[in-house]
Every structure is written in C-alpha cells, then in structure tokens.
Amino acid sequence: MSNLVKSVESALTEFILDPANHEFLTLVKGVRNGIVYGSKVRFPHALVMIFLFRSGTIRQKIWLIFKATRQHARNLGLFALLYKSTLMLLRRSAPDLKQRPLDPFLAGLLGGYVVFGRSRSSINQQIVTYVFARVALGAAKLVTQPAPAGAGGLVDNGVREAIRKNAWPVFASVSWASVMWLFATHPDVVQPSLRSSMQYIYVDSDSWDSLRTFLWHNK
C-alpha cells in the first residue's frame, strides 16, 4: 500500500512540475488561493458580526456564517479563474504571445462584471467598495509620484507636493463626514453590517436604565 502511495505521489509531483502543465495549473492554484483567502477573511468577520448583531438561534447563526464564508470564498476563487484564464487567452492572441499593458484591465473588467457586477449582495458590495477605496488611494499615490527623468509629470512639483501632504487627511475626513451624514439622515442606504456597528456605537450609547446596562450590557 505504501508503495502505491509513493507511486501516486511521485506521478503527481512529476505532473505538477512539468513545464508543459504550468499554465493550466496556475488556474487551479489561483482558484485554490482565492478560496482559501476568502475563507480566512470572511469567517472571522462573519463570526463576530453575526454573533454580535444578528438575532436567532445558534444554529441559524452558524448557518449564516457558513453562507457568508462560502460566498466570499467562491467569489474570489471564481474571479481568480476568470481573470487568469482571460489573461491567458489575451496573451495567446497577441502577435508576440506576451501580455500587453491593457490586458489586466480587460481581464479584471470581465471578472468584475461576471462575479461581482451582476449581484448586489451585501458581501459583493463590501468587496467592491473595499477595492474601490484602494483604487482611490492608489490613484492619489500615482499622481504624486515623481515623473521619470525627461518626461513630463501629470502635475507640476508644487501641486504634487500639496496633494501628497493633503490627500490622506482630506480622504479620511471626507469619508467619515460622508458616512456619518448618511447614517444620520439616510441610514437605510448604509451597508447593513456597517449600519449595525454604527447603531451600536453611536445610537445605543445614548441610553441605559441601570448600572448593568451602562457598563456590562448594551440593553
């Protein structure tokens, strides 16, 4: 039996290390990594948020945690598959069989639409808004990067330095000002888990009826 196991292990190792199989196996590994990362990120978040802010039995809460984790993991795994396979096809369509500068954008566009753009679930909204925030920060950093020698920058040095100093304070303060205004005036449009946490911190803290509900229990 041990000889059979060693033979199978040897054959599998030979298969995954064969350069001819590398391109296909990058798709498998991409899906695997997307699923693992999505599970690691979503499970602790769902565990805390659902047990803190959702009502229901323990069994119902466990099922909600499982569903949220499964959706996050599945979506990241599927996006990895679509993104990497689209890049592969685009490379094969290029005259020199090399990746072109626009290829990642096109692959991301397709994956973003198929996986995240067709469903406005709360999890998809969280993931997309997280990505959007990182894009905004990355764009701000790109604008403030010095231009290569001999090339004209996007903005002159004085404007670049002003943006570098003020971009983060403006971004942080306007973001918080906006979300607090939305929560105070239109709470129904705030993402549910964020709304629940804000309700707990900013609204529930306005009332108590005993030392117990002041220090130990929220209500």
Q: What is the pLDDT of residues 1-57, one digit of tens each?
A: 678 888 888 888 888 888 898 888 999 999 999 999 999 999 999 999 899 888 899
The DSSP 8-state label assigned to residue 148 in this structure reads: P
Beta-carbon contacts of 36 under 8 Å, excluding residues fewer than 6 positions away, are 73
Provide the whole-model pTM: 0.76
Cα–Cα distance, 214 to 118 (Å, whole number): 44
Scanning the structure block, which residue is given the tokens 């199989």? Answer: 21
Q: How many CA atoms lie within 13 A of 29 on its CB side?
A: 7
Q: What is the CA radius of gyration of the chain?
A: 24
Domain boundaries, the chain: 1-119, 121-145+155-219
Does the structure show a pLDDT above 70 at 125?
yes
